[in-house]
Amino acid sequence: MAIILNIETSTEVCSVTLAKDGNTLFEEESTEGLNHSQLLTVFIENLFKSNNFNFKDLDAVAVSKGPGSYTGLRIGVSVAKGLCYGLGIPLISVGSIDAIGHYAALHSADFYTPEDNEHLLFCPMIDARRMEVYTSLFDSSGEAILPVTAEIIDENSFAGQLKENKILFFGNGAEKCRSKITHENALFAGPSKTSARFMQKLAEKKYNKREFENVAYFEPFYLKDFVATIPKNKIIK
């Protein structure tokens, strides 16, 4: 039984929730774009002030560790580590793919009602630009059956799994893959964006198992190396 602040900044969504025993007490969320540096600390402050909650009541802070936006992840992790250090409480990390995949699998009836749920797989996709996504596969119990990878999607993606199973594709990277993955067993439905709400059950589970991160040395799970680009309007012709 714990009170955990959950922080999700791995995509265009800036989302925070206060959860008790894995259930939402309060939340603040924006899906307007990568404004995390401006919104995150304001959201957290609002969450506590508007609900007359005290930071000292927190048992832990959980943060989405990635993969996802490099800048978003660094902002979320930096704020989470600062809170944990200042309050002397544990830091929990939850994979961004794990959170949305686990949530969709356990709430599949909200998105799709299959005749045979046993052979339904869940494929969260977080946009990694162009035709690349961060992804994995989950079974109907919410357990990952493939490791998280960065995949360039084409007509043959998931062909082997689609022969044997229906697969639900979702997340902010799924829609762009619809024109490539056209197998009859490919379904596009489910949560389209990440959220701190999706982290709560996994964060609670990790808290109960005492699976904490080292506050001083924890780093986000980027999966890919950062590649800086020059904005077009900055290029001298």
DSSP codes, 48-97: HHTTT--GGG--EEEEEEESS-HHHHHHHHHHHHHHHHHHT--EEEEEHH
Q: Which of 66, 62, 69 is nearest to 12 (CA)?
A: 69
- Name the average pLDDT for the chain: 92
Please check whether residues 7 and 44 belong to one and the same domain: yes
Using the predicted structure, report yes or no on whether residue 114 has a pLDDT greater than 90: no
Q: What's the CA gap between 175 and 95, in Å, rounded?
A: 21
Identify whether residues 52 and 118 lie together within a single domain. no
Mean pLDDT of 32-44: 93
Q: What are phi and psi of 126, to 5 degrees?
A: -105, 130
| CA 12/CA 127 separation, integer angstroms | 10
Interhelix angle for 70-87 vs 36-49, to 10°? Answer: 40
- Average pLDDT over every residue of 77-82: 98
Query: Does 7 share its domain with 92?
Result: yes
Sign of CA dihedral 37, 123, 153, 180: negative
Q: Are residues 179 and 201 in the same domain?
A: no
CATH number at residue 153: 3.30.420
On whether both 81 and 198 belong to a single domain, the answer is yes
50 and 19, same structural domain? yes
Q: What is the pLDDT of residues 46-70, one digit of tens each?
A: 999 999 999 999 999 999 999 999 9
Show the tokens assigned to 114. 């299959």
CA torsion through residues 192, 137, 99, 77, sign: negative
Q: What is the mean pLDDT of residues 26-38?
A: 93
30 and 69 belong to one structural domain: yes
Domain housing 202: 3-96+194-234
Tens-digit pLDDT profile for residues 182-236: 999 999 999 999 999 999 999 999 999 999 999 999 999 999 754 444 444 444 3
For position 115, what pLDDT does the model report?
64
Instruction: State the pLDDT at residue 234.
Output: 41
How far is the CA of 109 from the CAs of 174, 180, 189, 191, in angstroms?
19, 26, 11, 12
Give yes or no: residues 124 and 142 share one domain.
yes
Q: What is the pTM of this model?
A: 0.91
Q: How far is CA 163 from the centre of its chain?
A: 28
Peptide bond just before 147 cis, omega within 30 deg: no
Q: Are residues 229 and 181 in the same domain?
A: no
Start-end of H helices in the chain:
36-49, 70-87, 96-106, 159-164, 200-208
Indicate if the pLDDT at residue 89 is higher than 70.
yes
Domain CATH for 198 = 3.30.420.40
- Count of domains for the chain: 2
pLDDT of residue 225: 59
Is 65 in the same domain as 135? no
Between residues 235 and 21, the one the model is more confident about: 21
- How much of the chain, in percent, has pLDDT values that exceed 90? 86
Q: Are residues 183 and 202 in the same domain?
A: no
